Amino acid sequence: MTIRIIVAGASGKMGQEVVKLINRTEHFQLVGAVSRTYAKQEIQKGAKYYATLEEALDANEADVIVDFTSPEMIKKHLQIACAYRVRPVVGTTGLTEEELNQLTVEFKQANLGGIIAPNFAIGAILMMRFAAQAAKYLPHVEIIESHHDRKLDAPSGTSLKTAELITESRRQMKQGHPKEIEMWEGARGADYHGFRIHSVRLPGLVAHQEVLFGGTGQLLTIRHDSLNRESFMPGVQIAVEKVLEMNQLVYGLENILEV
Ligand SMILES: NC(=O)C1=CN([C@@H]2O[C@H](COP(=O)(O)OP(=O)(O)OC[C@H]3O[C@@H](n4cnc5c(N)ncnc54)[C@H](OP(=O)(O)O)[C@@H]3O)[C@@H](O)[C@H]2O)C=CC1
Ligand SMILES: O=C(O)C1=N[C@H](C(=O)O)C[C@H](O)C1
């Protein structure tokens, strides 16, 4: 069966990679691409470009929307996907917990499937899983995530998901010295349930994360690096194929992989 796909954010770094994935995958078909830039310039690169997701959906029958846009757009795009009953596969980060909960209810009411994954790289999913396992035995943990300097959201979606998974297995505790003083605001990073997340932004970086655990006389570091954006594509392909069988909104690729 051919899967008809609309890509939102098609002019972006990830969107362009998704278009390449679709073009090289025999059972995938690009039926529409959403880009304000390309639609305005009327650039036609073998795809139909639309300025908005609604325009693309009005003009084409589609099975899946793949979205890599921006934190300010993602909630609206998910609601549009739900209204048009087209299953979304979303990589865009920056949704709040409250928005996610609300959208989960809306998709449940609509009996529609969808996948939101803050990271599609299989290695990153394993890194998160291993970190969650380690936290059970080594509860003193800090996360350092490093990204390119065009990234809008901090902390990254991956670090938040990692923190969430760690919290499920780590005993509740506040780390560090109880009388610690932060001389400069932000010096100790963001606090998540008593442990810290640090965000680095530099040109030259792509997407990297270290999870550091400390115990008496020992350190454990779990690290993942995405060296290019092709690293996310096997996960995107799996999500596009699996979402067709789903009837609820799922957050995290680990929920559809056997890891
Ligand atoms: N889950 C994962 O594995 C990964 C997730 N990401 C996430 O994906 C998202 C996109 O990343 P990336 O491709 O690097 O970003 P880019 O900035 O390169 O691309 C985003 C594209 O989205 C479009 N866009 C931006 N703002 C809006 C808006 N308000 N309304 C409609 N379209 C908009 C722009 O296209 P135009 O202006 O032409 O409309 C732009 O080209 C980010 O949230 C990032 O964190 C990134 C990598 C992996
Ligand atoms: O913006 C990015 O580039 C990335 N964003 C995602 C995140 O916020 O975790 C996934 C990956 O780290 C790349």
Locate all alpha helices (DSSP H) within 25-179, ordered by sequence: 36-41, 53-59, 74-84, 97-110, 122-137, 157-169
Q: Is the pLDDT of residue 44 over 60?
A: no
Among 48, 75, 140, 151, the active-site one is 151
Annotated binding site: 9-14, 40, 91-93, 117-120, 148, 157-158
Q: Distance (Å, rounded) from C-alpha 233 to C-alpha 213?
A: 30
Q: Which residues contact 115 (CB under 8 A, 6 or more apart)?
A: 88, 89, 90, 239, 242, 243, 246, 249, 250, 253, 256
Tell whether pTM > 0.90: yes
Taking residues 145-170, report their average pLDDT: 97
CATH fold of 122-227, please? Dihydrodipicolinate Reductase; domain 2 (3.30.360)
What residue spans define the domains of the chain?
3-116+230-255, 122-227
Among candidates 214, 168, 213, 174, which has minimal Cα distance to 193? 174
Note the pLDDT tens digit of each residue in 240-254. 999 999 999 999 999
Q: Distance (Å, rounded) from C-alpha 259 to C-alpha 250?
A: 16
Q: Distance (Å, rounded) from C-alpha 172 to C-alpha 195?
A: 10
Q: Is the pLDDT of residue 47 over 80?
A: no
Return the residue matching tokens 């349930």: 193
Site to probe by mutation for ligand 2, drawn from 17, 93, 120 as the one with most ligand atoms within 8 Å of Cβ, is 93
Annotation marks residue 151 as catalytic: yes
For ligand 2, atom 10: residue with the closest CA: 119
User: Has the ipTM of the complex gone over 0.90?
Assistant: yes
- Per-residue pLDDT at 46: 54
Q: Is the pLDDT of residue 43 over 60?
A: no
**CATH code reported for the domain at 3-116+230-255:** 3.40.50.720
Intrachain domains 3-116+230-255 and 122-227 with the same fold? no
Q: Distance (Å, rounded) from C-alpha 259 to C-alpha 253?
A: 10
Task: Give the model's confidence band at 38: pLDDT under 50 very low, under 70 low, under 90 confident, else very high.
Answer: confident
Angle in degrees, CA 19, 204, 20, rounded to 5: 10
- Per-residue pLDDT at 258: 78
Taking residues 24-38, report their average pLDDT: 95
Is 73's C-beta closer than 6 angstroms to any atom of ligand 1? yes
- Per-residue pLDDT at 42: 60
Q: Is the pLDDT of residue 211 over 90?
A: yes
Task: Give the model's confidence band at 31: pLDDT under 50 very low, under 70 low, under 90 confident, else very high.
Answer: very high
- Per-residue pLDDT at 220: 98
Q: Is the pLDDT of residue 97 over 60?
A: yes
Annotation marks residue 147 as catalytic: yes
